A = this chain, B = another copy of it.
Amino acid sequence: MLSQAAEDYLKSIYKLQEKGGKVSTGVLAEFLNVKPASVTGMIKKLKSMKLIKYERYHGVTLTNAGKAIALEVIRHHRLLELYLFKALGMPWDGVHDEAEKLEHVISEDMEERMDAYLGYPTSDPHGSPIPDKNGVVPKTASIPMTSLQDGQSCVVAEVNDSDSALLRHLGSFNLYPGTRFRVIEVAPFEGPFTIDVAGQQAVIGREVAKHIFVDDIHDT
């Protein structure tokens, strides 16, 4: 059995790799909140297990075996988030931390039971896709809210799940995945977005908007 630490490394490499190909030691260290020297150590272990490809000073990428494990952990995480949300009524800003710990210890049987209970869902409470049993990730085609223009209407597709204060903030405007809103005004010089959510006006700063991804855009 792989250690929790190793699983978290693989999961993190997967996520970082999505955005930019090879993953450097420094970026991974930053992401995992450890020192670069520690990352070098774990990288060697993962390489010896053939879970990553690695050349000194040149970053890492997952092998197929490593990717399969990463996706399994991500599947656990997202199923758990949705399960805790739906079955135990946990708030959407609380499920991430709980899932972060549980993801490494649940059995395949428990995974399957949650999946069945939830009706084989394809996304978690923050809109992130849940990989299926075979590691196939449902396609999502959302764009960053920051690229929206005045007058456009759209649906929240996905939000960053790891900052619970941000999630509470979004919750206060009812900005959950599936919620439609319309851009009233984008303030100039990289300014905030004024939006309309179900008749209520809200002002969303750039920094917040960066963590929101949207879908189904219409000009109005």
Contacts and interface: CB of A to CB of B under 8 A. Distances in A.
A84 interface: yes
A117 B88 contact: yes
Contact of A110 (B90, B106, B117): B90
B106 A98 contact: yes
A114 interface: yes
B98 A107 contact: yes
B113 A90 contact: yes
Interface residues of A, number: 18
A110 B87 contact: no
Contacts of A88: 110, 113-114, 117
A203 interface: no
Contacts of A84: 110
A144 interface: no
A110 B89 contact: no
Interface in A63-86: 84
Given A87-B87, A102-B102, A94 B109 contact: yes
A210 interface: no
A105 B101 contact: yes
Contacts of A89: 113
Contacts of A94: 109
Contacts of A114: 88
Nearest to A87: B87
A106 B90 CA distance: 13
A96 to B, nearest CB: 12
Interface of A: 84, 87-90, 94, 97-98, 101-102, 105-107, 109-110, 113-114, 117
9 contacts: A88-B110, A88-B113, A88-B114, A90-B113, A97-B107, A98-B106, A98-B110, A102-B106, A105-B105
